Amino acid sequence: MAEKGHGHLDEEELTCTQKIALNWKAFKDFMWDPQQKTFMGRNARSWAEIGVFYLFYYGFLAAFFGSLLAIFYYGFIDQTQPTYTDKIGTPGLMHYPRYKNEENIAFNLDNENTYKKFTDDIDELLDLYRNQNDTVYENCPSGPSFGDVSDRLCKFELSDLGEFCTSPKYGYDIGQPCVYFSLNKVWGWQPKAYKNESVPDAWRDRWDPNYILFECKGRKDKDQENLGITEFYPAAGVDFKYFPYTGDTNKNSHYRVHYLTPLVAMRFRNITQDTTVRIKCYARAANMEYGEFEGHVEFMVRVNSPIEVPATVASATAAPATVAPAAVAQATEARATEARATQARATAAQATAAQATAAQATAASATGAQATGA
């Protein structure tokens, strides 16, 4: 094998195995050189020096940027309120029940399973208001709030929602369902009253200058006709005393943990059944703005009437309301028996016709045979 100037082998003349062995030895010498006592080209002293340097270097950078963040966070950000509150100027309106965030309410009067999910959702909502500790909540005077009210939590009385809309079924069992409204929390927003001369006549019988009024309409004229009469509890709406919302930026603070949004209940007195009614509801205050999400909410309600049992079946039972399922089953069985009898008669008629056809064919064959013999 040819050699070059200093006794090294010519790499072009090395075999593949020799090249691998040579590279492997060079790699091992780089990782650990037993003669120079170096690891990856550095001895212990060199590694210690560069380690101490980078420790101080990155430590200084971390401390520098950490101090800048601390100065910005504690020196320029108010911890008692959000920095920016102008993205949404006025509260949005929410309605309940919202089973799994469904915006529409549809159920059958004669099937509790179809509306139980809604009543359960209302139960869960109202449970938040049923145990208000007097040491946490106070009975605030009606009307606008003045002065520092950042730590004040006003008690909300469930009795304000009326006896009907706090009953176990909330009217869903008799086709007069209740829905509930609340305003989203917007820090620092405080409602303003309409001037007396600017109040529409349609509101005047319920209007109170210290309340946010609530109003619901059908989306279209036909919806308005099917909406029927609606009743609100409290009739005047939400008292100004619950505003402004002043929760601080700490989500675990006493105020934010215990704050309860005031509610308004609406009862449908005579909504048209078996019809989908599209409804749009508004919260009314002089400074309420109505954008895509602010100040209003839309949803649909459909109440399906009970399935009627045929009069012949109902009259044959002594207690229709109690035995209606059995009566329906009996009627169904009677219809099935009648259908089977009809099918049997049709089968018998087909068999008779087939026999008659066969007899005629036999007679024709016999006649032909006699003619042939003659």
Domains belonging to the chain, first-starting first, are 11-76 (no CATH), 93-304 (2.60.40.1660)
Highest mean pLDDT among 78-82, 90-94, 170-174: 170-174
Residue 45 — very low, low, confident or very high, per pLDDT cuts 50/70/90? confident
Check whether 369 has a pLDDT greater than 80.
Answer: no
Q: Which residues contact 279 (CB under 8 A, 6 or more apart)?
A: 216, 217, 218, 219, 223, 227, 298, 299, 300, 301
Q: What is the mean pLDDT of residues 272-286?
A: 95
Interval 161-193: pLDDT, tens: 998 999 889 999 999 999 999 999 888 889 999
Which has more confidence, 78 or 371?
Answer: 78
Q: Average pLDDT of 43-67?
A: 92
If you search the block for the tokens 């399973």, which residue do you land on? 113
Question: What pLDDT shows up at residue 120?
Answer: 94
Which of left, alpha, beta for 10 (phi over 0: left; psi -120 to 50: alpha)? beta
How many other CB atoms are found less than 10 A from the CB of residue 95? 19
237: exposed, middle or buried (Cβ count in 10 Å: 0-12, 13-18, 19+): buried
| Residue 40 vs residue 274, higher pLDDT | 274
Mean pLDDT over 236-259 rounds to: 84
The whole-angstrom separation of Cα 239 and Cα 190 is 11
Q: Is the per-residue pLDDT at 221 higher than 90?
A: yes
Percentage above 90 pLDDT, the chain: 43
* pTM of this prediction exceeds 0.75: no
pLDDT in tens, 326-351: 444 454 455 445 545 545 554 555 55
pLDDT score for 322: 41
Residue 65, phi then psi, degrees to nearest 5: -70, -35
Provide mean pLDDT across the span 207-222: 94
- pLDDT score, position 118: 94
State residue 358's pLDDT score: 54
- Give residue for tokens 């809604």: 118
Band of residue 253 on the pLDDT scale cut at 50, 70, 90: confident
Instruction: Name all contacts of 148-155 with Cβ < 8 Å and 24+ positions apart.
Output: 149/244, 149/246, 150/80, 150/246, 150/248, 150/255, 151/254, 151/255, 153/255, 153/258, 153/259, 153/260, 154/241, 154/242
As a whole number of angstroms, the distance between CA 193 and CA 211 comes to 8
Per-residue pLDDT of 108-164, as tens digits, reads 999 999 999 999 999 999 999 988 888 889 999 988 887 677 778 999 999 999 989
- Mean pLDDT score of the chain: 80
- The predicted structure's pLDDT at residue 263: 96
Residue 21 has what pLDDT? 83
Mean pLDDT of 3-25: 70
How far does Cα 366 stand from its chain's mean position? 84
Asked if 189 contacts 196 with a C-beta cutoff of 8 angstroms, the reply is no
**Is residue 83 scored above 80 in pLDDT?**
no
Contact 158, 164 (CB under 8 A): no
| Residue with more model confidence, 7 or 34 | 34
